[in-house]
Amino acid sequence: MAEVKKENWLKRAWGRICRYFRELKSELKKVVWSTPKQVLKNALIVVCCVLVVGVFIWVFDFAAQSLITGLLNLFH
């Protein structure tokens, strides 16, 4: 029975690395990139949502702080 000689680990690793970059290049060709106008629109939507949530949290925090302060003053 003939013994099959394996490639050394360096050649196998190099082959896997090359295959990874070939597949990466192939996948990146399939990507549909956003236009600068779409990026700006999406960024503005994110900023507005962050501001709205921030204001909501601030109002809730202020109300909770006022309630706790009121209760502490009531019982002291």
pTM of structure: 0.58
The answer to whether the CB of 25 falls within 8 A of the CB of 33 is no
- In angstroms, the Cα distances linking 14 to 8, 27, 45, 60 are 10, 20, 44, 57
The answer to whether the CB of 55 falls within 8 A of the CB of 63 is no
pLDDT tens digits for 10-65? 888 999 999 999 999 999 999 999 999 999 999 999 999 999 999 999 999 999 99
Q: Band of the pLDDT at 1, cuts 50, 70, 90?
A: low
pLDDT at 5 over 80: no
The answer to whether the CB of 34 falls within 8 A of the CB of 42 is yes
